[in-house]
Structure 1
Amino acid sequence: MAFIDYYKVLGIDKTASEADIKKAYRKLARKYHPDVNPNDKDAEIKFKQINEANEVLSKPEHRKKYDKYGENWKHGDSYEQAQQQQNRSRQSHQQQGGFEGYGDAEYSDFFESMFGGGFSQRGRQVKYKGQDFNASLQLQLKDVYTSQQQVLTVNGKQIRLTIPAGITNGQVIKISGKGGPGTNGGPNGDLFIEFQISNATPFKRDGSNLYKTVDLNLYSAILGGDLTVETFDGKVKLNLKSPTQNGDQVKLKGKGFPVYKKEGQFGDLYITYNIKMPEKLSDEERQLFETLEKLQQS
């Protein structure tokens, strides 16, 4: 397989910061995601390369090895261990008056053979874990109010995923063994899915609590009475006190968002009242307010 420059894949240079890498990955992942490009083989290949590039460059320890060893970065630890053993062996032979070990050209051959056929230590090949994959999944807030199942296509493979209610924006979950295949019988890599949750509702979410502003007309705020409000899962009737002040808040216990992985547990819903003043008064209404003002002053 031809060498792939992960920096070029993400469209960044080698001095890019971690934030630059994350930004570039998210932009490209959204562009080439299989759900956006169904039955597009080129986009599928590109999406796979983007995930591989992000997996390597987003982790400082992997990036350091990649910068040093290029396409052989996965075997960097084995190479360095072998080099240390070779150096110790060379020093031992020198102390005993023996040969000095490998020359540079010979050691280079050793390096190539180690990565070409799998490093052999006492006749056993080292098992390497497969490449971890990263993917993103875009959902609406209403989609994660209840648990649901989805089928994702990652690198041409369909994966059935149960999404627990209450998952949060930016949360990452790991699906073990759904990454790239291992080498020399090693375990498969893992799949990491980041959730990007949009909110098109009138509710503001903070953890498992929800917040909503409800407009009141001036007369309802003064007189009070029954008020029907929308919650996330239906309507409830409230008793509005008389008078209600602008900015007053009430808490509806258990009417918030599901608590992640805690079946049957919900946060609270906080309702804040916003009193809307009338835009225009009739002559009769003005006279009545003037009468009220005099009553207040008496």
Structure 2
Amino acid sequence: MAFKDYYKILEVSKTATDKEIKTAFRKLVRKYHPDLNPDNKEAEAKFKEVNEANEVLSDPEKRKKYDKYSQYGEDWKHGEAHEKAQQQQRQYQSQQQSQQSFSEEEYSDFFESMFGDAAGGYQRSTQFKGQDFNAELHLDLRSVYTSQKQVLTLNDKKIRLTIPAGVENGQTIKIKGKGAPGINDGPNGDLYIKIIIDNNTQFKRQGDNLYLDLNLDLYTAILGGEITIVTFDGKAKLQVKPETENGTQVKLRGKGFPVYKKEGSYGDLIVTYQLETPKNLSNKEIDLFKELQKIKTK
């Protein structure tokens, strides 16, 4: 079974301190980050290895377990179970060599209690589920407005998956059976993908609703009018009522974000008007405002 030397991956010694591990991890993440190595499969693979190694070595309990059971290769997480199975086998062999005699029925009961049911007179090895894998997938907010088909490369294998529209930032998606192979024909581990959503839009997202702060000129706020905004699914027109105050909110139903795994359901878009005070007024504009001021004070 292939063995991953996490210390070698992070380029630290087995006696490295937590601080040394953290420093090495940050250095290698910067070196192999996908944003700095576009279309570089080798760097992408190294980036994943570095994250995997840090996940284990930065956790005191996982590191202790890894150090103790590293001889079991990628299945070090199940090292305790391996040793228990070996201990049971040694006990069985010791019993066989003793002077104690068993009847056929007693021998069968003993063999089954130690190793499970026997098939054809042969011992059946204990099965273990394979190691689970963890990965991160970075997407932008606009892309997850619709369902996304993605192809991930994991251990030189391509995994095709569909990310449903409306997925949340930080949400984890489980892909069954795409982890490490099981031991002794045990089930494969699973793949857990954490979704990281970057928002570079003017909208703020809270659940299924979107929020937008919209600048509104003073003249439209006073007189009313029609303005057009661009949403994720096209343009939308807003009718501004006369004498609209600063901070006024309007709700556009169904113009928010898709509801996760509920096709055709959308949240709302809440627009908040932010009044803009006119600047660089001409002399004529200043005179007109003075006339208005006189009228209002009469």
Q: Deviations over 1:10-66 (max 9, x none)?
A: 46776649xx69x9499739936699564645x465356346536655877654422
Please name the residue that 1:252 is paired with.
Answer: 252
Please name the residue that 1:159 is paired with.
Answer: 159
TM-score, with structure 2 as normaliser? 0.74
Please name the residue that 1:181 is paired with.
Answer: 181
Percent of aligned positions that are identical? 56
Secondary structure of 2:142's aligned partner: helix
The residue identity in structure 2 corresponding to 1:209 is: N
Which segment drifts farther, 49-58 or 222-231?
49-58
CA distance in 2, matches of 1:52, 1:124: 33
Q: Is the 1:215–1:275 Cα contact (8 Å) retained in structure 2?
A: yes
Q: Is the 1:145–1:166 Cα contact (8 Å) retained in structure 2?
A: yes
Q: Deviations over 1:254-292 (max 9, x none)?
A: 110011111111111111111111111222211211111
Q: 1:154 to 1:87 in 2, by over 3 A?
A: closer
CA distance in 2, matches of 1:30, 1:261: 37
Secondary structure of 1:201's aligned partner: coil
CA distance in 2, matches of 1:25, 1:184: 37
Secondary structure of 1:285's aligned partner: helix
Matches within 5 A, 1:102-121: 121=115
The residue identity in structure 1 corresponding to 2:236 is: V
Matches within 5 A, 1:46-195: 46-47=46-47, 49-50=49-50, 52-53=52-53, 56=56, 62-72=62-72, 73-79=76-82, 81-82=84-85, 121=115, 123-195=123-195
Q: Is the 1:139–1:195 Cα contact (8 Å) retained in structure 2?
A: yes
RMSD: 3.8
Q: Deviations over 1:105-131 (max 9, x none)?
A: xxxxxxxxxxxxxxx947221122222
The residue identity in structure 2 corresponding to 1:81 is: K
Q: Is the 1:172–1:193 Cα contact (8 Å) retained in structure 2?
A: yes
CA distance in 1, matches of 2:263, 2:198: 23
Please name the residue that 1:115 is paired with.
Answer: none
Q: Is the 2:32–2:44 Cα contact (8 Å) retained in structure 1?
A: no
Please name the residue that 1:198 is paired with.
Answer: 198
Q: 1:158 to 1:79 in 2, by over 3 A?
A: closer
- Structure 2 residue 278 is the aligned partner of structure 1 residue 278: yes
TM-score, with structure 1 as normaliser? 0.74
Q: Is the 1:248–1:272 Cα contact (8 Å) retained in structure 2?
A: yes
CA distance in 2, matches of 1:189, 1:58: 22
Q: Is the 1:246–1:275 Cα contact (8 Å) retained in structure 2?
A: yes
Structure 1 runs not aligned, ≥5 long: 93-97, 99-119
Q: Is the 1:170–1:194 Cα contact (8 Å) retained in structure 2?
A: yes
CA distance in 1, matches of 2:282, 2:36: 57
The residue identity in structure 2 corresponding to 1:155 is: N
Q: 1:58 to 1:159 in 2, by over 3 A?
A: farther
